[in-house]
Chains A and B, each alone.
Chain A
Amino acid sequence: MKRLLYLLLLLMISPMTYAQDAEMADVMRSNGKIYVVVGIILIVLIGLITYLFLLDRKITHLEKKLPSAKH
């Protein structure tokens, strides 16, 4: 905990030092593989959102079949 607080203090003092402090997935970023992960996640996300839009449209169709479903 103390180490983390010290680190945070350090980060506030100098933005130059914190670039080397903690290990991040820099290799994955530099060789561009990260975009593969981002692409896959976005496909799943957009797929689910599209599904939600289609579900919405289906319900709207049903509502039109029963005009009094809206009140």
Chain B
Amino acid sequence: MSTAYLCMKVWLKIVAVVLLVYVHLAGLLMEAPRLNILNETVRALYFHVPMWFGMVLLYVLSVYHAIRYLRNPFHGHDVKSVEFANVGTAFGILGMITGMLWANYTWGSPWHGDPKQKGAAIALLVYFAYFVLRGSLDNMEQRARLSSIYNVFAFATMIPLIFIIPRLEDSMHPGNGGNPGFNAYDLDSRMRMIFYPAVIAWFLIGYWIVSLRIRYRAIEEKILESDL
């Protein structure tokens, strides 16, 4: 059985850590736009939104490896696909919890029936079903093939649920349902200077965790192989 291997350069890990420390320092200490209702919680944008961006980027890599598996059924592609989906889902859950906390204090309740919130919840459930599907199949090749196909559908469902439907309906999220995008908040690009590094940093941290999980699985498989 051929195993997957995903390497991450040390300098990339250091970039991730430096960016993350910068994001936390600047996100908490730099001037933020003064807006009613949001007040100081506008800073949550630096920490809540990168979770979702990170999740989407990790899911993109997951579906990429799923398609690679379908084109060439190499076991390593399947391992990469599932591990990216795993960490992506962890990011999504964190995004959901942070969003609910933020909504509780700015929208009035943690579950507001906001289209983007509902869409994100459905997208997460679709990905939970991916893991249920994987868990329900014993045959490794069958599991890899069926879950790769399902992964493509899950990704194709997630994109409209998060990016399209909330824009068609009346959402309270910035940039949706006639609300101004976060362009309107960052008068002099101050927020952008913190937000984009935050997205990069969290994505790199996610990628790092994925690489650790894949390396751990490679060792595990090697041990199982030598025992047999």
Chain A interface residues (CB < 8 Å from chain B): 1, 3-5, 7-8, 11-12, 15, 18-19, 21-25, 34, 37-38, 41-42, 45-46, 49, 52-53, 55-56, 59, 62-63, 66, 68-71
Contacts and interface: CB of A to CB of B under 8 A. Distances in A.
Contact of B36 (A7, A12, A68): A7
Given A22-B34, A52-B212, 7 more contacts: A11-B187, A15-B187, A19-B34, A24-B34, A38-B29, A56-B13, A59-B216
Interface of B: 2-3, 5, 13, 17, 20-21, 24-25, 28-29, 32-40, 179-180, 184-185, 187, 205, 208-209, 212, 215-216, 218-219, 222-223
Looking at chain B's contact residues, the main secondary structure is: helix
B180 A23 contact: no
Nearest to B218: A69
Given A38-B25, A42-B21, A59 B2 contact: no
30 contacts: A4-B35, A5-B180, A8-B35, A8-B180, A8-B184, A11-B34, A12-B187, A18-B33, A21-B36, A22-B35, A22-B36, A22-B38, A24-B40, A25-B39, A25-B40, A34-B28, A42-B24, A46-B21, A49-B17, A49-B20, A52-B205, A52-B208, A53-B13, A62-B219, A63-B215, A63-B218, A66-B219, A69-B215, A71-B3, A71-B5
A23 B34 CA distance: 7
B212 A59 contact: yes
Given A8-B184, A18-B34, A38 B219 contact: no
B105 to A, nearest CB: 14
Contacts, number: 85
A19 B32 CA distance: 11
A52 B2 contact: no
A42 to B, nearest CB: 6
B219 A7 contact: no
Contact of A70 (B5, B35, B187): B5
Given A38-B25, A38-B28, A22 B219 contact: no
Nearest to A38: B28
Given A24-B39, A52-B209, A66 B29 contact: no
A71 B36 CA distance: 56
A33 B212 CA distance: 37
Contacts of B179: 1
B25 A23 contact: no
A68 B225 CA distance: 11
What are the nearest 5 A-B pairs in CB distance? A22-B34, A69-B222, A22-B36, A25-B40, A59-B215
